[in-house]
Amino acid sequence: MTETTESPLSDAGGNQEPWLLEVRDLVKNFGGLRAVDHCSFRVERGTITGLIGPNGAGKTTVFNLITGFIPPDSGRILLAGEDIGHLRPDQIFARGLCRTFQIPREHGSMSVLENLLLVPPEQSGERWWNALIRGAQVQAEETRNLEKAREVLEYLQLTHVSNEYAGNLSGGQKKLLELGRMLMADPQIILLDEPAAGVNRTLLRTISDNIQYLARERGITFLLIEHDMNMVMNLCNPVIVMSEGRKLAEGEPDIVRNDKNVLEAYLGGQYAAAEG
Ligand SMILES: Nc1ncnc2c1ncn2[C@@H]1O[C@H](COP(=O)(O)OP(=O)(O)OP(=O)(O)O)[C@@H](O)[C@H]1O
Ligand SMILES: [Mg+2]
């Protein structure tokens, strides 16, 4: 008898590769500017992989390409072996790939709880005929979603603001809310764009702890863009470095941090100024 497990980590396609996400030879031009320049890298299942690099290196653009917000000019994007390069953002989201934005995008005039309840993609209550024909089932699903939302809020220590307008949250709380919206979707992989930006030390530790816990206990894979080197060094392994649209280096955080090419990429402007 064959065993059929329904874990989000089990791979329906029979893909046994350790790589959950792979970008191959990705290129993106904006007019005359090449933002992503034949960039290739892979993200192993269960890792918290860091994506760092100087301002304008192309990191956010890579996220926009992976999540289907903008189309690549060429190259491939594979999720669990499946080519997702031609899919819409909602189709990619439905496959368990979620992202947060460099600037949080909460629905400011809705409550924190309502923001979470918006998320589940398969909510059958949105289809009015379902509501008519299968009222009880829809109601059960809504109850489940509500329970899940309450759990997520408790886990992120946001219960005390659950009825607050999301627009009134602090910058750091908005980051937590974004993470909460990801959790509502039962993701395989979460892409985080600068989770530490504008967040105080205490909250930063909460966010880091959450990420570590979710990777360890729930097997969620993370790819995370960050300029806060403390966070990257404590949390991420491996670390991928981008510069001028390409992958410049990759490896354990300590090795990458001391790599001559990486130091030059970060300090390049200063070297040039000192020499000039
Ligand atoms: N929609 C766009 N139209 C035109 N140019 C863009 C667009 N998006 C990004 N760029 C340009 O592409 C380059 C890469 O930008 P990107 O936002 O990916 O960098 P980044 O590595 O995320 O930088 P930062 O660390 O400052 O967030 C930059 O030169 C940027 O100005
Ligand atoms: Mg960016």
CATH of the domain at 237: 3.40.50.300
CA angle 231, 235, 241 (to 5 degrees): 75
Residues in CB range of 29: below 8 A, 6 or more apart: 35, 73
Chain segment 163-197, per-residue pLDDT in tens: 999 999 988 888 889 889 888 888 999 999 998 88
Classify residue 31 as left (phi > 0), alpha (psi -120 to 50) or beta.
left
Least confident of 15-24, 71-80, 123-132, 193-202: 123-132
Atom of ligand 1 lying closest to residue 61 CA:
18
Measured in Å, residue 193 CA sits from the centre of ligand 2 at 7
- Are 80 and 206 found together in one domain? yes
pLDDT: which is higher, 159 or 138: 159
User: Does 175 reside within a domain?
Assistant: no
- Counting residues of the chain whose pLDDT is more than 70, the rounded percentage is 83
Task: Judge contact between 125 and 131, C-beta under 8 A.
Answer: yes
- Are 267 and 200 found together in one domain? yes
Task: Specify the pTM.
Answer: 0.83
Chain segment 221-271, per-residue pLDDT in tens: 999 999 999 999 999 999 999 999 999 999 999 999 899 999 998 876 554
Ligand 1 pocket (Cβ < 6 Å) reads 30, 33, 35, 53, 55-61, 102
pLDDT at 199: 81
Which residue range forms the structural domain that includes residue 261?
A: 19-106+185-275
**Mean per-residue pLDDT of the chain:** 85
pLDDT at 15: 55
- Are 193 and 100 found together in one domain? yes
Is the pLDDT reported for residue 9 higher than 80? no
- Are 52 and 142 found together in one domain? no
Into how many domains does the chain fold? 2
pLDDT at 150: 94
Least confident of 8-12, 17-21, 163-167: 8-12
pLDDT at 3: 41
Is the pLDDT reported for residue 5 higher than 50? no
d(CA 204, CA 207): 5
- Are 223 and 159 found together in one domain? no
- Are 244 and 114 found together in one domain? no
Measured in Å, residue 250 CA sits from the centre of ligand 1 at 21
